[in-house]
Every structure is written in structure tokens, then in C-alpha cells.
Amino acid sequence: MAEITWIKLKTDMFDDEKIKLIERMPEGDGILIIWVKLLAYAGKVNCSGYIMIAEDIPMNVEEMAIIFNRPLEKVRYAIQVLQRYRMIDVDENERVCISNWEKHQNIDGMEKVRLQTAERNRKYRERKKQQALQAPESSQNNEGNVSVTSRDGIDKELDIDKEIDKEIDKEQELLKEESASPSSVAVVNPFNFYAQNGFGLTMNDITREKIVGWCNDLSDELVIHAMQIAMERNSISWSYAEGILKKWHSKGVKSLKDVDALLAQFEAQRAQKNRSHGNQRTENIPEWFGKHQAESAATQQKANEPIDFEAERAKVLAKLGGA
């Protein structure tokens, strides 16, 4: 249903009692924005009103906060309010679904698309059948120029129908692949990346809050890139990835280009440091330092000479006799 690109919003929707009650709430405007975003997303994925990341992956509250670009606590509050007024339903698997989805769904548009697809398939089938029936029904061998029919007319028509069905299926599959947007097939977000790459089988509330916070402060892209770096360094843990994010935040990083620039700066500084260590260090020695070194060497040499005790004794006695 990739062709379905709009939903119905009634012009008197703001006259609804539930909408009026929500408008009077402190966060009323934010709740209504989230409500419209839920409607739009449900229409985009077209899963009978369910809010889904992919066909078999329901979107949880943390992922809504990222995709809707709203603080997590406000999304949680909005879900509680909308559920209380029965504008949405949350099943036992925590899948969020728009209540009375048929009120908002483009039923007429869906029917129109269905009829157009059926008519296109009918014309395609008729065209392929005519081409097959007009093709030569016999072939000539190289020796005898003898006509050989492969099967009778009824069997041939049945085989043509089977081949046409196969080609129609292939064509429709290609159309789905080409028309499906990335967000309608699968949304790569930090929560999916965390779960799919060994950072943890489960995620506690503290880690969820941190991931949402970093996505708001930096971006989903940078949070995922930090986890990728942690994987490359064989340090698959959220604490390691968060350390990278803290460093980027302190350096004013806002995008992957900033990360590349920071890395280039680090490499340049390291290369400069290696060059400076490679050069031999030479300094001018002061004159006084040379004299000090000579006196120290003479003193050390004299200290190392053997002592003549008799000569020293004679000097002492001569001094005493003179006194």
C-alpha cells in the first residue's frame, strides 16, 4: 500500500470534547502534536492503525520519542492521556494502535488503488497472452524442415496463464521494493542497533533515558556511530560508547563531519609530536655550568686517590710543633 500517502482529518476535529479537554492541559499542545504524528505515522506504515517500525516490529515509547523528536517523558505522558481517552489502544504486547482507525484511514483512496491495480493486471495479462499466442507455434529442425508442435492449444493457454501470473508477481514485488521508503520498511535507530549488535539482550530504564538524552543532545546518527566505534575497538558496552559521546559533546561535535575533523586534528597532533621526539635536542651550555662541572670532576678525582697516612701524620705534627 505504498501509494496511500494521506489520511483523513475532519475539519471539526477541534470541536471534539476529548480534544478540548486535552487543550486545557498544561502540555495540551504537545499532546495534540504527538496525536497528529501518531495518525500520520499509522497512515504511512498502513498496518491497520498500528504504530509499527516494520511489518513485525512495533514501535515502543522510547523509539517514538526519537522518531517524533519529542522528550521521552512528554511522549509517555501523551500516551497515557490518549489511552485514558480511548483515542489509542495498547495491547498486551505493548503495541500502540489508533482507536477507530477507519475514521482516519483513506478507505476511498485504498479502494481506488485496488481497482487501478486490478485493471492494470488485467490489461497486462491480456497483452502478454496475445503476444504468446501470436508467437510461432512450430519450429523447424536443421535437417528436415519438419513442423513440431509442443502441446495442444488448451495446455498452451494454461501454461501462458501460469507464466503471466509469475511475471505479474515479480512486477508487483519490484514495485513494492522501489516505492517503499526506508522508514516504512525498517528504521535504523539506536535502540535497534543496541539490541542487534550485542550491547545487551535487555535494556534498563536508565540506559534508555541516556540514549534518548544523547539523541536529543547530539543525534541518532552520532549515537549509532559511537557504538560502531566501540565495536571496532572490541569494547562492546554502552559505558564505552557513552564515553565517546561525552568527549564529542565537550569538543562541540554536532555531525559525522565534525567527528572526521576531530580525528584529522588528533592525527596531525600525534604526527607533530612524533616528529619533535625524533629530532636530537641541542642546547647552549652556560659558562658557569662548565666551570662547575670541572671543579666537581677535580674533587671527585682527588677523592678517588689513595690516602698517604704517614704524610698526613707528619703534616699534623709539624703544625702542632709550630704552635
Cβ contacts of 55 within 8 Å, gap of 6 or more:
47
Instruction: Tell whether 171 and 247 lie within a shared domain.
Output: no
Dist CA 46 CA 50 (whole Å):
8
By DSSP bridging, strand 57-58 and strand 52-54 are antiparallel
Instruction: Check which CATH number belongs to the domain holding 50 and give it.
Output: 1.10.10.10
Residue of 154, 152, 160, 107 whose CA lies nearest to 131: 160
Considering the domain boundaries, does residue 249 fall inside one?
yes
Considering the domain boundaries, does residue 5 fall inside one?
no
Considering the domain boundaries, does residue 199 fall inside one?
yes
Instruction: Tell whether 167 and 225 lie within a shared domain.
Output: no
Distances (CA, A) of 111 to 55, 114, 116, 264: 21, 5, 9, 56
Considering the domain boundaries, does residue 111 fall inside one?
no
Instruction: Tell whether 167 and 230 lie within a shared domain.
Output: no
What are the cell numbers at 315? 703534616
Report, as ranges of residue numbers, the positions in the chain whose pLDDT lies below 70. 1-5, 55, 104-125, 128-129, 131-188, 200-202, 277-309, 316, 319-323
Considering the domain boundaries, does residue 311 fall inside one?
no
Encode pLDDT of 171-199 as tens digits: 556 545 544 444 333 446 888 888 888 88
CB atoms within 10 A of CB 258: 15
Considering the domain boundaries, does residue 243 fall inside one?
yes
Q: Give the pLDDT confidence score for residue 182 in this predicted structure.
A: 41
Q: Which pTM value belongs to this model?
A: 0.40
What are the cell numbers at 50? 498500528
Instruction: Tell whether 18 and 76 lie within a shared domain.
Output: yes
Instruction: Tell whether 80 and 19 lie within a shared domain.
Output: yes
Instruction: Tell whether 180 and 220 lie within a shared domain.
Output: no
> Final residue of a domain: which of 238, 261, 277?
277
Encode pLDDT of 63-91 as tens digits: 999 999 999 999 999 999 999 999 999 88
Q: Give the pLDDT confidence score for residue 179 in this predicted structure.
A: 43
Instruction: Tell whether 203 and 237 lie within a shared domain.
Output: yes
Q: Give the pLDDT confidence score for residue 180 in this predicted structure.
A: 44
Instruction: Tell whether 158 and 200 lie within a shared domain.
Output: no
Give the range of the structural domain holding residue 175, as residue numbers without chain letter: 117-133+152-184
CA R_g for the chain: 41
Considering the domain boundaries, does residue 239 fall inside one?
yes
Instruction: Tell whether 208 and 126 lie within a shared domain.
Output: no
Dist CA 237 CA 199 (whole Å):
5
Considering the domain boundaries, does residue 171 fall inside one?
yes
Q: Give the pLDDT confidence score for residue 144 in this predicted structure.
A: 47
Count structural domains, the chain: 3
